[in-house]
Structure 1
Amino acid sequence: MTQGATVRDDTWFDALFRSHATQVHRYLARRAPRDAEDLAAEVMAIAWRRRADLPEGAELPWLYRTAAYVLANHRRKHVAMPTDHEPADADDVDPAELVIADDAVRAALTALSPRDRRILLLHAWEGLGGEELAVVLGISRGGADAALSRARARLAAAWDERA
């Protein structure tokens, strides 16, 4: 092990889990509400098995990227993905759910490519900036910034078409 490298043991994983499990769960809950808990557990299990592959300082983007793969695999298995998720308590309403419930916003997002939607939602909902988006998308920082800029422009155009 190189000098200064982090030991990836139970203590390390506990800290990773405490720091990021809620964000991973929220990411999945917005996309697969009924299966989010199981999918988040699968993502964290993969993180444990592949702990040597997690880039130090970019753990959360790596987890989001892994969550996207887990979700894609889940969908390919033809598991029903509900669209009528209702929160148990009005105080627990996620603002992201309110946005998706808005027909105009949903229509504008639907007009975008899946990649543009993914970029915008990672930025808006998960709060990822250029460097983190680059890790999730597997591209350079400049490429991520350009992709976000293009996705924003396409969303603005889709919104204007609805008006």
Structure 2
Amino acid sequence: MMRSLLSRALFNPFNPFTALAPLVLGAATLAFAAPALADDPHAMHMQHGQSGAAAGIGEPGDDAQATRTVEVDMRDTMRFSPATLTVRRGDTVRFVITNRGKLRHELTLGTAASLAEHAKMMQQMPDMIHAEPNAVTVEPGERKTLVWHFAQAGTVDFACLEPGHFAAGMHGVVNVR
């Protein structure tokens, strides 16, 4: 009954506040959606976490501007090959990533702290597949490409954040000189 009264009041053509109805409903929708988003740590992470430039790790690169191609193998031994790489500041690197194992793996670029935090989060969401520009999920036997522009000197870490893989040692480092 309350809903019916509210609908009649908001959508009455003679009510001067009818024009505000879409705004009121939109605000209510956002108010109810915010707590749901807060309950999903990965959703919050995708909004605020690994944007790349915000994390100081660089930015998505343009494949046509790639200055270097690096082949990266992933195996079920929970290792990347190579696990250490040195690039020059300003390089745009095309990573060609091959999963030579029987398990799903991924390569995610980030800071050591953000990757460790995200690895813990992934324990709660084992089937999550990343769609961020700094990450690729690679199924067994697949090959994918990630292009990244390393804009500043420092260290950029990378890891497989599939549950248990990071803890087993599946991480590496890009030294940007």
User: For the superposition of Structure 1 and Structure 2, which TM-score range results when normalised by the shorter chain?
Assistant: under 0.3
Bigger Rg over Cα: 2
More strand by share: 2
Task: Using structure 2 for the length normalisation, give the TM-score.
Answer: 0.24
* Structure showing greater relative contact order (alpha-carbon pairs closer than 8 Å, 6 or more residues apart): 2
More helix by share: 1
